[in-house]
Amino acid sequence: MTGAPLRRVKSLSILAVVAWSALVFLAWSQPWFTLTAQGRAGDTLTVTVQGAAAAPALSALALAGLALSAALAIAGPVIRIILGLLELVLGLSIVVSSAAALADPVPAGQSAVTSATGVAGSSSILAIAEATGSTPWPWVATVAGTLMAVTGILIVVTFRRWPVSGRKYQPVQFADETGRTSTSPATLVEANLEPAGPVDGSRSTERTTPETAQDSAPSTAAPVETSQPVDLDAKAESDRTRAVDSWDSLSRGVDPTN
């Protein structure tokens, strides 16, 4: 199974975790039971027990399920198994907490009875209060917890069929011109600066830098000839002086025309 079916398995699993957790949180915020209790003046009081009083742990368990759904979106195969097992434990905990409240509503609502009558203590509350009705919300929480447990099992069973996370969750890979890759560009620079083989029987420990490489490289550039401007007057004067000296040397200082 590839492509769209794989993405559908992952999306449906994460969506199921979010849905069941939200349903548990909703049930926790609703009224669960109705109790009647004898007040201190002998009157009968009607006490409504909210889910927050009957099963206070459900809110934390539901929030943990919502956080787990976010982790599932980027988890790898091994972490996915752990999160699936954690989802199973969360679902079972919700079922146990809800079932305990359903089995005995009066102890589950003793905090509400104490607030209404001022009577404290489990034995005293059991003596003055009794359950007269319940709403569907504790059953909704129990069913949602069961579905959470089933979803956790399905995550563990199907974890290999999930597609891998996107590239944005993978480390960036750098590559040089030789094809070497690394997550750190500094590592590639250091590898390129090291000599490829031994020099004079031992590997050189000196690293080549751009300045030393430029100094050690043989010069292949041809010499550039520079030309300077020539003073024609000075050259003519020099030629005339040499001519006079040559004449004096030949005539021994005597003018032969005389």
pLDDT digits (tens), the chain, 258 positions: 454 565 677 888 899 999 999 999 999 999 999 988 887 767 788 888 999 999 999 999 999 999 999 998 888 888 989 999 999 999 999 999 999 999 988 888 888 888 888 888 888 888 888 888 889 999 999 999 999 999 999 999 887 777 665 544 455 666 666 666 766 666 766 666 655 555 454 444 455 555 554 555 555 544 545 555 556 666 666 777 776 666 566 666 566 555
Strand ranges inside the chain, DSSP E: 31-38, 44-50, 129-134, 174-175, 181-182
> Angle 93-60-107 (CA atoms, 0-180°, nearest 5)?
65
User: Phi then psi for 47, rounded to 5 degrees?
Assistant: -115, 125
**pTM for the whole thing?**
0.61
> How far is it, in rounded angstroms, from Cα 26 to Cα 46?
24
Per DSSP, 136 falls in state S
Contacts of 38 (CB under 8 A, 6+ apart): 44, 45, 117, 128, 129
Angle subtended by helix axes 77-103 and 58-72, to nearest 10: 160
